[in-house]
């Protein structure tokens, strides 16, 4: 069954929403330049002639990922599942955020893993010594396997983590068994990790040359750890393929192309002086989806002095902290809400005869009803009273198919938004600056 579609709701998007809707109706003289630039961005993406065009492999990726490839990954993943209480994903940035976002979205809140699968832990995404010490101690008493994910194969943080964890694993199981518990995901030819994987005979999957780190969640970078976790990667890829088909069919039609509409909304906000886009969730399962999204947009657009700063908040939690700033601080924010239409469980609020807490006004209601009202109320307060444009991206439910759609939607909109600002959305030259300074200090 095809994954249900995402919907964009501009009800609370104020002038930004009106502008997008006028453009969608074709009557937008004052928005002509914005509309033209986004149409040009669409043509640039389609022609594959724009900046960074050697990194456009993500566009056709869902459609060209075969069931056989996915099954082979699932079979190898099953071997590791069978003998691992813990699976450690080593990687940073685009090499771990996508998998973590999907696992966090689908994993039961109070279970270590998904239905009988191993607990998924992460390493190589920072340099904390205490974290590593505690991780190694935790692994002392557990059966585990490792996955090292690095496209370049030379990134410092995962390389250090892998050196430590490989040594721990080999000491625990011996070199032969350790070899069967390590999977490498890296470049087909280049990089230290490729050489090591070939030399040691690790199972190795390839990060395609034409897919950059932050666009790589639907390659083995995301798919293999997800398969180990027990996520249905076939449904995830099918969801992304369905979104890709919708986008291709919609073409440059403003009324049908959700990616163009979202890119237009955020560009309108940016061009009208708003500096920060908040990705908002009303469910903690989506916190890491925002972390993935922040990397996607921050690294793709934040260059040449341009770009909305991507930030995130979790509601209603942050309504009791950041809510004050959003409501009354400097008017530099726009919001994009991940609005979940339907959860999985039913929890009704009971009636209390004494009504000591005064909460009987919601007795008999489901928690999702109260959450939905909190979302509606917050959208109104922030937009109508606070002047903050709020776009809602409605997710019909939270499953693999919908998440596949969401990933592809955000990736395409990101490329369009970046091209419309005349930046290369597929490079990240600024990331080198800290590395240069660090290597100087470390004497590399
Ligand atoms: O989007 C990117 O290219 C980066 O965020 C990378 O994913 C990150 O730096 C990790 O790189 P690598 O996979 O080469 O270790």
User: Tens digit of pLDDT for each residue in 276-323?
Assistant: 999 999 999 999 999 999 999 999 999 999 999 999 999 999 999 999
**Whether 435 is catalytic:** yes
d(CA 196, CA 108): 36
Length of the chain, in residues = 444
pTM of the model: 0.97
Query: Exactly one of 157, 291, 299, 375 is catalytic; which is it?
Result: 299
pLDDT at 116: 82
318 in Cβ contact with 285 (< 8 Å): no
Distance of CA 152 from the midpoint of ligand 1 (Å): 7
pLDDT-derived band at 92 (thresholds 50, 70, 90) equals very high
d(CA 193, CA 255): 46
pLDDT at 428: 94
d(CA 276, CA 309): 5
d(CA 214, CA 297): 9
pLDDT at 204: 96
Helix ranges (DSSP H) in 359-429: 367-380, 400-420
For ligand 1, atom 15, the nearest C-alpha belongs to 150
**Whether 107 is catalytic:** no
- DSSP letter at 56 equals -
**Whether 37 is catalytic:** no
Pocket flag, ligand 1, residue 95 (CB < 6 Å)? yes
Pocket flag, ligand 1, residue 299 (CB < 6 Å)? yes
- DSSP letter at 153 equals S
Q: Is the pLDDT of residue 395 over 80?
A: yes
pLDDT at 29: 81
Which atom number of ligand 1 is nearest to the Cα of residue 207? Answer: 13
Question: What SS3 class is residue 256?
Answer: coil
Q: What is the mean pLDDT of residues 224-249?
A: 97
pLDDT-derived band at 35 (thresholds 50, 70, 90) equals very high
Q: List pLDDT tens digits, range 113-139.
A: 887 899 999 999 999 999 999 999 999
The helix or strand, by DSSP H or E, that contains position 119, with its residue range, turns out to be strand 119-123
Q: Is the pLDDT of residue 166 over 80?
A: yes
Q: What is the mean pLDDT of residues 373-394?
A: 98
Distance of CA 185 from the midpoint of ligand 1 (Å): 12
426 in Cβ contact with 52 (< 8 Å): yes
d(CA 304, CA 436): 19
pLDDT at 27: 73
pLDDT at 89: 98
412 in Cβ contact with 298 (< 8 Å): no
Q: Is the pLDDT of residue 1 over 90?
A: no
Q: What is the mean pLDDT of residues 214-218?
A: 98
pLDDT at 152: 87
**Rg of the chain (C-alpha set):** 23
Q: Is the pLDDT of residue 140 over 90?
A: yes
Of 55, 92, 435, best ligand 1 pocket probe by most atoms within 8 Å of the beta carbon:
92
Closest by CA position to 238, among listed 402, 39, 77, 415: 402
288 in Cβ contact with 105 (< 8 Å): yes
Query: Exactly one of 129, 176, 320, 344 is catalytic; which is it?
Result: 320
Q: Is the pLDDT of residue 28 over 80?
A: no
pLDDT-derived band at 30 (thresholds 50, 70, 90) equals confident
């Amino acid at each position: 069954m095809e994954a249900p579609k995402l919907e964009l709701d501009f009800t609370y998007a104020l002038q930004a929403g009106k502008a997008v809707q006028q453009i969608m109706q074709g009557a937008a003289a004052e928005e002509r330049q914005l509309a033209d630039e986004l149409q040009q961005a669409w043509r640039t993406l389609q022609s594959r002639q724009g900046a960074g065009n050697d990194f456009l492999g993500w566009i056709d990726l869902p459609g060209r990922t075969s069931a056989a490839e996915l099954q082979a990954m699932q079979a190898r993943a099953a071997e590791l599942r069978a003998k691992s209480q813990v699976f450690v994903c080593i990687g940073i940035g685009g090499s771990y955020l996508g998998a973590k976002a999907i696992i966090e979205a689908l994993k039961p809140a109070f279970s270590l893993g998904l239905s009988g699968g191993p607990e998924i832990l992460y390493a190589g995404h920072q340099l904390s010594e205490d974290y590593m010490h505690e991780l190694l101690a935790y692994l002392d008493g557990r059966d585990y396997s490792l996955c090292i994910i690095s496209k370049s194969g030379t990134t410092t943080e995962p390389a250090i983590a892998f050196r430590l964890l490989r040594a721990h694993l080999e000491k625990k199981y011996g070199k032969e068994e350790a070899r069967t518990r390590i999977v490498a995901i890296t470049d087909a030819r280049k990089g230290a990790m490729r050489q090591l994987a070939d030399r040691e005979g690790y199972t190795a999957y390839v990060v395609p040359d034409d897919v950059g780190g932050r666009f790589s969640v639907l390659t083995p970078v995301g798919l293999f750890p997800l398969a180990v976790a027990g996520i249905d990667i076939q449904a995830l890829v099918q969801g992304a393929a369905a979104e890709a088909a919708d986008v291709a069919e919609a073409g440059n039609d403003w009324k049908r192309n959700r990616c163009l509409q979202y890119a237009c909304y955020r560009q309108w906000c940016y061009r009208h002086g708003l500096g920060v886009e908040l990705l908002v969730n009303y469910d903690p399962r989506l916190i890491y989806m925002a972390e993935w999204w922040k990397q996607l947009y921050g690294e793709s657009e934040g260059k040449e002095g341009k770009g909305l700063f991507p930030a995130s908040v979790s509601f209603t939690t942050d309504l009791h902290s950041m809510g004050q700033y959003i409501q009354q601080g400097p008017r530099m924010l726009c919001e994009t809400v991940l609005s979940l239409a339907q959860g999985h469980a039913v929890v009704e609020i009971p009636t209390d005869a004494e009504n000591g807490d005064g909460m009987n006004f919601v007795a008999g209601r489901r928690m999702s009803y109260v959450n939905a009202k909190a979302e509606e109320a917050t959208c109104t307060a922030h937009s109508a009273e606070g002047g903050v444009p709020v776009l809602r991206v409605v997710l019909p439910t939270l499953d693999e198919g919908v998440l596949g759609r969401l990933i592809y939607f955000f990736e395409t909109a990101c490329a369009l938004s970046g091209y419309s600002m005349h930046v290369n959305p597929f490079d990240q030259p600024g990331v080198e600056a800290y590395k240069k300074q660090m290597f100087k200090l470390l004497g590399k």
